Amino acid sequence: MAKKKRVPIPDDIAAEILFISDRTCCVCNIRGKQVQIHHVDEDPSNNTLGNLSVLCFECHDQTMIKGGFGRKLEANQIFKYRNDWHERVRNRKAKADEIASIQTVTGSTETVIVNVINEEDYLNYKTYDDPNLLKDYLDKILIVHNAQLTIARTKWDTGVTMTMNQGNYDMVDFYEEVLIELSTFYPKGHFNNLTPKKYFSELISSRFLWNRLVLEPHGVGTGGTIVSTMTGGSVMNDLKHMIVDMVNSLLFPYEIDEQIDLDKWRDEWLT
Ligand SMILES: [Zn+2]
C-alpha cells in the first residue's frame, strides 16, 4: 500500500478537536499530560473531525505496537474511547454551568457570586470582602458538596476502573469550581495575575502529573491501570484540603467575632 501523504491539520479543526477533548487523552483521560492529535484510520491526509482523536504519547504508542504480546489499540477501540470521552467532556461542561446557575439563583441580585468562566467575565467580575456573602456561600456549598459526593459514591461503588475514575473527575471538577468561586473573595489579579480559571486549571494539571509520578516510582506506565484511579483520588484530596486552607485564611479575621464557626464547617466539609 502506498504511503499516504501527511497533510497538516487545519488550525480551526485542530482547535475544535482539542476543545471537545478538553486537551486530554481520550483513552487514559489523565489531565495534564502532553497530547497529540491522532488520525484514527492511520491516513495522515484524512483531516476530517470524525477521523481525529486526542491521545497522549503513551496511549499513542499503543496504537503502533505490532505483533508480540503488546495490546495494540485498534481503530474501532479508539473510536469508542473517543466518543465516550467527548460525551463526558460535554457533560462536565454542562454540569459546571449547572453548578454556576445553582450558585447564582440562590443569591439575591446584590449577593450574586459571579462564576468566572472566561477572560471577559474576569475583567467584569467584582471581588467580595463581605463575610456574610462568604458565610452564605460556605453554607450552600456544604449542601452541594454532599449531593456531589452521593453521586460520586455510586460510581466508586461499581469497582469498574473507568467508572470509578469518572467519579473522581466529577469531584475534581466540582472542587475546581469551588476554588474559582472562593478566589473571588481575594483581590483581582491576586493569583499570579492569571484568571482564577486559568490559574487553577494549570495547578490541577500539575497536581495530576505530580501524584501520578509519585505513584509510579519504577517508571511511568509501570503501575497498571489502578494508578489512574489512585491519581484521581489523590488530586481530589489535594483540592479538598486546598479549599479548607482558603476558607481558613478568608475566615480568619471574622472568626474572632464568632460570626462563622470554622471548626464546624471544616468538620462537615471533610466528612
Ligand atoms: Zn493516554
Both 223 and 153 in a single domain? yes
Which residues are within 8 A (CB) of 6 and not within 5 positions of it... i.e. 6 or more apart?
44, 45
Both 132 and 261 in a single domain? yes
User: Ligand 1: distance of its center to the CA of 166 in Å?
Assistant: 15
What's the rounded Cα separation, in Å, for the pair 232 and 96? Answer: 18
Domain final residue, candidates 87, 120, 144: 87
Both 111 and 81 in a single domain? no
DSSP string, 116-174: --SHHHHHHPPP---HHHHHHHHHHHHHHHHHHHHHHHHHHTT--HHHHHHHHHHHHHH
Q: Which three cell numbers stand for residue 112?
A: 450574586
Both 121 and 239 in a single domain? yes
User: Ligand 1: distance of its center to the CA of 56 in Å?
Assistant: 4
Domain final residue, candidates 21, 55, 87: 87
212 domain residue, yes or no: yes
User: Ligand 1: distance of its center to the CA of 190 in Å?
Assistant: 34
203 domain residue, yes or no: yes
| Contact between residue 236 and residue 204 where contact means Cβ atoms under 8 Å apart | no
User: Ligand 1: distance of its center to the CA of 176 in Å?
Assistant: 22
Q: How many domains does the chain have?
A: 2
Instruction: Look at the block and give the residue holding cell 477501540.
Output: 77
User: Ligand 1: distance of its center to the CA of 26 in Å?
Assistant: 7
Instruction: Using 50 as the pLDDT threshold, list the residues of the chain that sit under it.
Output: 68, 102-119
Both 113 and 51 in a single domain? no
99 domain residue, yes or no: no
User: Ligand 1: distance of its center to the CA of 243 in Å?
Assistant: 29
User: Ligand 1: distance of its center to the CA of 55 in Å?
Assistant: 5
100 domain residue, yes or no: no
98 domain residue, yes or no: no
What's the rounded Cα separation, in Å, for the pair 93 and 64? Answer: 32
Query: Residue 53: what pLDDT?
Result: 94
**Side-chain half-sphere CA neighbours of 120 within 13 A:** 0
96 domain residue, yes or no: no
Which residues are within 8 A (CB) of 174 and not within 5 positions of it... i.e. 6 or more apart?
99, 144, 145, 148
Both 66 and 135 in a single domain? no
Query: Residue 99: what pLDDT?
Result: 56
Query: Residue 124: what pLDDT?
Result: 53
Both 188 and 252 in a single domain? yes
What's the rounded Cα separation, in Å, for the pair 75 and 245? Answer: 45
Both 126 and 257 in a single domain? yes
Both 54 and 11 in a single domain? yes
Both 114 and 243 in a single domain? yes
Both 155 and 83 in a single domain? no
Q: What are the C-alpha distances in Å from 138 to residues 41, 55, 184, 270?
A: 50, 38, 13, 13
Both 65 and 139 in a single domain? no
232 domain residue, yes or no: yes
Provide the phi-psi class of 187: left if phi over 0, else alpha when psi is between -120 and 50, else beta. Answer: beta
Q: Domain residues for 60?
A: 1-87
End-to-end CA distance of the chain: 60
101 domain residue, yes or no: no
Domain final residue, candidates 25, 59, 87: 87
User: Ligand 1: distance of its center to the CA of 25 in Å?
Assistant: 5
User: Ligand 1: distance of its center to the CA of 208 in Å?
Assistant: 13
